[in-house]
Amino acid sequence: MGMKGVVLAGGSAKRLGELTRITNKHLLPLADLPMIYYPLKALEQAGITEVCLITGKEHAEHFIALLGDGTVNDREGNQLFNLDITYRMQARPGGISEAISLAENFINKEKFVVFLGDNIIEGNIKDAVQNFSRQFNGARILLKEIENPNAYGVPVFNDSKEIVCIEEKPLSPKSNYAVIGIYLLDYRAFDFIRELTPSGRGELEVTDLLNIYIKESKVESDILEGWWRDAGQSPKELYEISQLIYQTGANKIHL
């Protein structure tokens, strides 16, 4: 069995205002394709073809209508990707870790990659997936150096450059790296999630999950090459990402 993928495509996306009043943000256009195509293509490029897509029940039928069983061609008949997609529905927004837990039966004790559906990258995650396949167990995260990481999880390093914890949205970040929304986990993630308690906002946080792995000294990291953007921030961000895609391509869909 190969590594599997989990794409999270739920959430209310209130920061996108009127754009998501009647639709899911992951169905909005980036350049000339729906946002959800980009994480799916990134997983396929990394050799992952079995994917579980998790979304809210109010938009599940829209994803099924768009993606079907996972073989998607454009209007000219060119194949965009060829995946085997399984769907799971999240009853209500309960945090990233809660959403991950819905894929437990799908994963079936395999290693897997969690990809937040609004994370758009220029390149690919092949190297990280290959590195994780050689890693005996634990977790692996992707980092990106940015100017203001305090809107994200931020890794704290010791003198040996090992990650000792991840701080969620710290006021004074202890490094310039952000933990981007791509997490490589072993099957113990589901046991760890059962140990979590909801945060102050009532959600099971992925930072808390990763910190359990860190306590076991079982977290490795890779630095993502190329640009990375979080498409859930604002309508202006959607426009800027679309321009980036047209200029440089993303996941080789446009190259």
The enclosing domain of 12 has a CATH number of 3.90.550.10
> Within a domain: residue 132?
yes
180-238 pLDDT, tens digit each: 999 999 999 999 999 999 998 899 999 999 999 999 878 999 999 999 999 988 999 99
Q: Are 103 and 193 in contact (CB under 8 A)?
A: no
Mean pLDDT throughout 154-175? 95
DSSP-derived 3-state class of residue 236: helix
> Within a domain: residue 204?
no
> Within a domain: residue 209?
no
Mean pLDDT throughout 170-176? 95
Residue 58 CB neighbour total at 10 angstroms:
13
114-160 pLDDT, tens digit each: 999 999 999 999 999 999 999 999 999 999 999 999 999 999 999 99
> Within a domain: residue 157?
no
Confidence of residue 254 (pLDDT cuts 50, 70, 90): low
Expressed as residue numbers, the domain containing 9 is 4-137+180-199+219-248
| CA 146 to the chain's CA centroid | 18
- Residue 175 makes CB contacts below 8 A (sequence gap 6+) with 149, 154, 155, 156, 157
Tokens 């390149």 correspond to: 123
pTM of the model: 0.95
101-116 pLDDT, tens digit each: 999 999 999 999 999 9
Whether residue 250 has pLDDT greater than 80: no
CA distance 252 to 122: 8
Number of domains in the chain: 1
Helix residue ranges, H only, 73-179: 96-101, 104-107, 126-134
| AA letter at 60 | A
> Within a domain: residue 145?
no
- Specify the pLDDT at position 249: 78
pLDDT > 90: what percent of the chain? 82
CA distance 149 to 175: 8
> Within a domain: residue 50?
yes
Q: What is the largest CA-CA distance in the chain?
A: 54
